[in-house]
A and B are shown apart, each in its own frame.
Chain A
Amino acid sequence: MTKELEHSFVEQLQTHQNIVHKVCRLYTNNQDAHNDLFQEITIQLWRAFPKFRGDSKFSTWMYRVGLNTAITLYRKSKRRIQTDDFDAIQFKIKAEEYDNTEEEQLKLLYKAVHQLNDIEKALVFLYLEDKDYREISETLGISEVNARVKMNRIKKKLKTILNP
């Protein structure tokens, strides 16, 4: 029975692994940390899996556990703090050589998102995934109005980071 459960879980996670990769992309800055967080999310998903009743989509359920792990359970290693500094330096250099190509703009956008705090990142993540404010508010445990207000503030904050 456990083997069957394991098999079904691994198969589903393998199909939807991009969701977990996306969470890791937002909350980590290097490959090692990315792998660490991916592993921790996998462990937490597996622990919660017996309670997954299938009344919500597997992917929706993954968002919640993935974000919860990234925001509350995952412990950042020291190695990553150094990388953050490195990224900040890189960001400054990049900002100076700003050029208007889409590729370049995207890089800057990702860097800017990385400067947001954990909760802001979660809002951005759900927004990018095209979740409506009802789902965003349910995932974070805040009211719909406040989720909307906060999202507008984040947009402004991103603008300020991009055009200081």
Chain B
Amino acid sequence: MDELELLKKDWQSDKPIYPELSYDDIYKMLHAKSSSIVKWIFYISIIELSLGIALTLINPKIESPAQFPNWIDTLSYFSIPFILVFMYLFYKNYKTITTTDNVKSLINSILKTRRTVKYYVLFNLILAGIFSSVLTYVSYVEVNGGPDVFEASAHFKEYAVLGVVIVVATIGITAIIFGIYYLIYGILLKRLNKNYNELKKLEV
């Protein structure tokens, strides 16, 4: 006997499984707050996008007497169009998420929206890496008597120490940001990724 046939018979018997909900019960649910994963992704993405903008606007030059290279300014301005493109892509992808799609396309569009923001974060991490390297360099030189004194007295050893400090500081900062990021999305998208892979596996 096919076990599923027995289950099907019971399933289709239409006997109520749970206490029937009234009109008012359903009406109340309509106005309840959603706790869907898409909503979480949307909120987190908005925070990430805002942080990116804040990062671009807060120039490391502020409140620092040290001399910064001019190209830092140019880099800041150049990043603005990129941010706008990312925001447009994020909005466009977000709009394509629809629950009436098939399961595979729905998961795909959610993951695509996520990926856009992932690239955006990567872009910001690179930018943050560049800024923090310059900041470390400028601060280090400043602590050691300013650019003129440093350049006059520095030998290979001083430059090597400076190089190590820059690398360690930059890696440290980006690793912390990346770690937090990885943890949040690892947890949030675990189930989605699992289900998507399961569907993809079926098509092989």
Residues of the B chain whose Cβ atoms lie less than 8 Å from the Cβ of A69: 36, 99
Residues of the A chain whose Cβ atoms lie less than 8 Å from the Cβ of B7: 106, 109-110, 113, 128
| Interface flags, B1-38, vs A, CB<8A=1, else 0 | 01110111011101011101111001101101011111
A37 to B35, alpha carbons, bound, how many Å? 10
A20 to B157, alpha carbons, bound, how many Å? 71
Complex interface: stretch among B100-108, B120-128, B148-156: B100-108
CB-based nearest A residue for B200: A142
A155 partner, pick from B4, B18, B36, B195, beta carbons under 8 A: B4
Within 8 Å of chain B (Cβ to Cβ): is A80? no
Tell whether, in the assembled complex, residue B38 and residue A10 are in contact, meaning their CB atoms are under 8 Å apart: no
A85-134 residues at the B interface, CB under 8 angstroms: 102, 105-106, 109-110, 112-113, 117-119, 122, 124, 127-130
Within 8 Å of chain A (Cβ to Cβ): is B168? no
Within 8 Å of chain A (Cβ to Cβ): is B88? no
Tell whether, in the assembled complex, residue B105 and residue A14 are in contact, meaning their CB atoms are under 8 Å apart: no
Within 8 Å of chain A (Cβ to Cβ): is B63? no
Residues of the B chain whose Cβ atoms lie less than 8 Å from the Cβ of A139: 102-103
A128 partner, pick from B4, B99, B107, B194, beta carbons under 8 A: B4
Residues of the B chain whose Cβ atoms lie less than 8 Å from the Cβ of A149: 202
Within 8 Å of chain B (Cβ to Cβ): is A79? no
Closest beta carbon of chain A to B30's beta carbon, Å: 5
A136-157 residues at the B interface, CB under 8 angstroms: 138-143, 146-147, 149-150, 155
A40 partner, pick from B3, B35, B102, beta carbons under 8 A: B35
Tell whether, in the assembled complex, residue A72 and residue B107 are in contact, meaning their CB atoms are under 8 Å apart: yes
Total chain B interface residues with beta-carbon distance under 8 A:
47
Residues of the B chain whose Cβ atoms lie less than 8 Å from the Cβ of A140: 102-104, 199
| Interface flags, B159-183, vs A, CB<8A=1, else 0 | 0000000000000000000000000
Residues of the B chain whose Cβ atoms lie less than 8 Å from the Cβ of A6: 27, 30
A68 partner, pick from B32, B101, B194, B198, beta carbons under 8 A: B101
Tell whether, in the assembled complex, residue A38 and residue B29 are in contact, meaning their CB atoms are under 8 Å apart: yes
Tell whether, in the assembled complex, residue A162 and residue B3 are in contact, meaning their CB atoms are under 8 Å apart: yes
A32 to B193, alpha carbons, bound, how many Å? 26
CB-based nearest A residue for B20: A17
A102 to B179, alpha carbons, bound, how many Å? 52
A159 to B1, alpha carbons, bound, how many Å? 11
Within 8 Å of chain B (Cβ to Cβ): is A58? no
A10 partner, pick from B27, B37, B198, beta carbons under 8 A: B27
Tell whether, in the assembled complex, residue B21 and residue A14 are in contact, meaning their CB atoms are under 8 Å apart: yes
CB-based nearest B residue for A43: B34
Within 8 Å of chain B (Cβ to Cβ): is A33? no
Tell whether, in the assembled complex, residue A75 and residue B40 are in contact, meaning their CB atoms are under 8 Å apart: yes
Tell whether, in the assembled complex, residue B100 and residue A51 are in contact, meaning their CB atoms are under 8 Å apart: yes
Q: Which residues of B contact A (CB under 8 A)?
A: 2-4, 6-8, 10-12, 14, 16-18, 20-23, 26-27, 29-30, 32, 34-38, 40, 98-107, 110, 191-192, 194-195, 198-199, 202-203
Instruction: List the 5 shortest-distance A-B pairs measured between CB atoms, nearest first.
Output: A141-B104, A141-B102, A73-B36, A42-B29, A128-B11
Q: Which residues of A contact B (CB under 8 A)?
A: 6, 9-11, 13-14, 17-18, 21-22, 24-25, 34, 36, 38-40, 42-44, 46-48, 51-52, 61, 64-65, 67-69, 71-76, 102, 105-106, 109-110, 112-113, 117-119, 122, 124, 127-130, 138-143, 146-147, 149-150, 155, 158-159, 162
CB pairs A–B below 8 angstroms (5 shown): A10-B23, A72-B192, A102-B6, A112-B3, A155-B3
